[in-house]
């Protein structure tokens, strides 16, 4: 999962392909087009993104995406482009009832749903269940 990336300024998700001296090479998970992401780009692994909860704690994006998958039985989620803001908030409250409504904006909800739908279209929801190398190393010890 650490190889699935979000790059600020670009829509969609990318897969890490290779490292270079000045950054990384990524591939759009839908179009399969490759491009460089330079060290000046803000690149985030989906594994490292979290959603704020009411109690001040955070829940990983992976858990939120898994909850959407359970609710939708791995089918597509509500379309964030066509649903109104109130419907999106209500839908997200079903997925994560205690999300922090002051710190999680509709734009964040749209991004999460867009990412989920993109992973679903690309038949990549199984990456949500993969353990990353750090977790695998911890289990072996």
Judged by average pLDDT, the poorest of 9-18, 45-54, 88-97, 131-140 is 131-140
**Whether 54 and 116 share a structural domain:** yes
Provide the residue range defining the domain that includes 71.
49-128
- Whether residue 73 lies inside any domain: the answer is yes
pTM > 0.85: yes
Q: Which long-range contacts (CB under 8 A, 24 or more apart) does 64-70 make?
A: 64/95, 64/96, 64/112, 65/112, 65/115, 65/116, 65/119, 65/125, 65/128, 66/128, 66/129, 67/95, 67/96, 68/95, 68/112, 68/113, 68/116, 69/116, 69/120, 69/125, 69/128
Q: Tell me: the pLDDT tens digits for 51-83?
A: 999 999 999 999 999 999 999 999 999 999 999
Does 141 reside within a domain?
no
């Amino acid at each position: 999962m650490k190889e699935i990336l979000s790059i600020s300024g670009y829509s969609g998700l990318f897969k890490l392909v290779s490292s270079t001296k000045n950054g990384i090479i990524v591939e759009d998970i839908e179009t399969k087009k490759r491009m460089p992401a330079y060290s000046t780009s803000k690149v985030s692994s989906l594994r490292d993104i979290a959603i704020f909860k009411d109690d001040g704690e955070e829940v990983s994006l992976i858990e939120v995406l898994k909850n959407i998958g359970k609710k939708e039985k791995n089918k597509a989620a509500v379309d964030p482009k066509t649903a109104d803001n109130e419907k999106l908030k209500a839908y997200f409250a079903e997925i994560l009832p205690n999300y922090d409504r002051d710190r999680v904006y509709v734009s964040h909800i749209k991004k999460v749903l867009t990412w989920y739908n993109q992973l679903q279209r690309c038949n990549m929801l199984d990456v949500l269940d993969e353990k990353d190398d750090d977790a695998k190393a911890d289990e072996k010890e």
